[in-house]
């Protein structure tokens, strides 16, 4: 009598099953990879907005807390010291000396409008100014970046007041009555 070795049955996936599973896996991976550029663009835009907010805060702090007017020899106010400027910043919102540095990512154009005449006032208010700040991510060519209609900058307009030079209260209400 002849003995046969016990039969070994192997179980495996068939070729169509392998091809179908590879197709499903490929579709899922391609979908995930196609979302990558959108995620990177969103990250870059978010980082840019954060830097722009830090830059705007830095610029407005400088103008709000700075000295606006020179004192003349009689102790009164003289020339207004606020001037239009062009500043350079890096990605973190730190001011740079100029655009020549590799780390310079933003250029900021600051324009100070003259004193406004408020409704009901007879004359201009010397302690109020509108600051227009334009921020661009093209520091190497500010002329083209800030050209009207170029679309290469974001503009912010903010009113600032010089609070420490508003003077004493006038009229029937005195500081002791506050």
pLDDT given for residue 116 in this prediction:
82
Residue 148 lies in a domain: yes
Q: Does residue 75 lie within any of the structural domains?
A: yes
Supply the pLDDT for residue 79: 60
Number of domains in the chain: 1
Instruction: Let me know if residue 17 belongs to a domain.
Output: no
pLDDT value for 7 = 66
Question: Is residue 65 in a domain?
Answer: yes
Q: What is the pLDDT of residue 24?
A: 96
The reply to whether 5 falls in a domain is no
**What is the domain extent for residue 96?**
35-165
CA distance 48 to 86: 19
Residue 58 maps to a domain: yes
On whether residue 121 sits in a domain, the answer given is yes
Sequence-separated (6 or more) residues with CB below 8 Å from residue 169: 175
Digit-by-digit pLDDT tens for the chain (178 residues) are: 677 666 666 788 899 999 999 999 999 999 999 999 999 999 988 988 999 999 999 988 888 877 776 666 665 555 667 788 899 998 888 888 888 878 888 999 999 888 887 788 778 877 788 899 999 988 888 888 888 888 889 999 988 887 765 544 444 443 333 3
CA distances from 143 to 69, 148, 152 (A): 29, 10, 11
Which backbone phi and psi does 4 adopt, to 5 degrees?
Answer: -100, 140
């Amino acid at each position: 009598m002849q003995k046969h070795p016990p039969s070994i049955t192997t179980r495996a996936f068939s070729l169509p099953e392998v091809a179908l599973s590879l197709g499903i896996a490929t579709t899922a991976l391609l979908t995930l990879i196609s979302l990558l550029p959108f995620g990177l663009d969103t990250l870059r835009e978010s980082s840019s907005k954060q830097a722009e907010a830090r830059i705007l805060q830095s610029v407005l702090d400088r103008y709000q807390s700075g000295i606006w007017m020179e004192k003349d020899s009689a102790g009164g106010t003289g020339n207004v010291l606020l001037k239009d400027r062009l500043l350079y910043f890096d990605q973190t919102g730190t001011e740079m000396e100029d655009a020549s540095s590799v780390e310079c990512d933003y250029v900021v154009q600051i324009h100070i409008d003259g004193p406004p005449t408020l409704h009901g006032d007879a004359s201009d208010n010397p302690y109020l100014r509108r600051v227009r700040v334009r921020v661009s991510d093209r520091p190497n060519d500010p002329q083209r970046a800030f050209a009207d209609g170029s679309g290469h900058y974001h503009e912010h307009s903010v009113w600032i007041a010089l609070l420490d030079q508003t003077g004493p209260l006038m009229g029937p209400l005195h500081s002791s009555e506050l």
